[in-house]
Amino acid sequence: MNQLRAWMDLRRIAGAALLSVAVLFGSLASAPGFAETPDEAATRESLAVMHAFMAAFNARDVPAWADTLLYPHVRLASQTVAVYPDREAFIAAHDMTAFANTTGWSRSTWDDLQVIQASPDKVHIAVVFTRYDGADQVISAYKSLYVVERVDGRWGVRARSSFAP
C-alpha cells in the first residue's frame, strides 16, 4: 500500500511539474523574445506573394500578376535576360492568350517552395513548378529560383531564374 501511495504521489508531482513547464513555455512563446522573428515574418509574407503570383498567372490576369512583382523586374530564362523597368512594360510584354495558344498551357502549380535564405527584407525561394495542358496533362516541370523583396513596406518578386522556356 505504501508503494502504491508513493507511486501516486510521484505521478501527481510529475504531472504538476509538466503542467508548470507547459505554462512556462506557453508564456514564453508570447513574450517579445519568442515572438515571430523577422525572418519568419519575411518567409510568411514572401510565400503569400508567391501564391498571389500563381493565382494571377493562372487567372491570366496580367495586371494582377504585374502587381506581385517589384520593378525593375528581372527574368533569366532560355539563355536570355529580360528586364522590365516598370509595371507598364511588363504588362505590354505579356499576352497570356498567345502564351497558352503557343504552348498548350492551361494552368500551373507550385510543386515545391523551399525558402533557402531569408532576411527581414529579402527571401530566396527554390521552386519547382509544373505546367499543365487543357486536358490536365503535364506539359513539363521546371526548377527555378525566385528572389522576393520588401521595398517601401511592400513585398514582391524582384527576380526569377528559371529553366523554363
Same-domain status, 113 and 101: yes
CATH at residue 48: 3.10.450.50
Q: Give residue 2's pLDDT.
A: 55
Does the pLDDT value for residue 158 go beyond 50?
yes
Same-domain status, 68 and 11: no
- Whole-angstrom distance, CA of residue 5 vs CA of residue 11: 10
- Taking only the tens place, the pLDDT of each residue in 78-93 is 899 999 999 999 999 9
- The number of angstroms, rounded, from the C-alpha of 53 to the middle of its chain's C-alpha atoms is 10
Same-domain status, 82 and 29: no
Does the pLDDT value for residue 25 go beyond 70?
no
Higher-confidence position of 33 and 14: 33
Domains: count for the chain: 2
Q: Give residue 165's pLDDT.
A: 81
Inter-residue contact 135 to 98 (CB < 8 Å): no
Q: Give residue 38's pLDDT.
A: 75
> What average pLDDT does the structure give for the chain?
85
Angle at 69 between CA 42 and CA 135, to 5 degrees: 105
Q: Give residue 54's pLDDT.
A: 98
Same-domain status, 22 and 90: no
Q: Give residue 10's pLDDT.
A: 42
What range does the domain containing 69 cover? 37-162
Residues 6+ apart with CB under 8 A from 140: 130, 131, 164
* Torsion on CA atoms 148, 151, 156, 159, rounded to nearest 10: -50
Q: Give residue 22's pLDDT.
A: 37
Higher-confidence position of 56 and 37: 56
* Torsion on CA atoms 9, 15, 16, 19, rounded to nearest 10: 180
- Taking only the tens place, the pLDDT of each residue in 40-55 is 999 999 999 999 999 9
Sheet hosting strand 69-77, strand order edge to edge: 80-84, 69-77, 154-162, 138-151, 122-133, 105-119
Count, in order, helices (H) and strands (E) of the chain. Answer: 5, 6
Same-domain status, 68 and 146: yes
Same-domain status, 103 and 75: yes
Best CA proximity match to 116, nearest among 125, 108, 106: 125
Does the pLDDT value for residue 37 go beyond 60?
yes
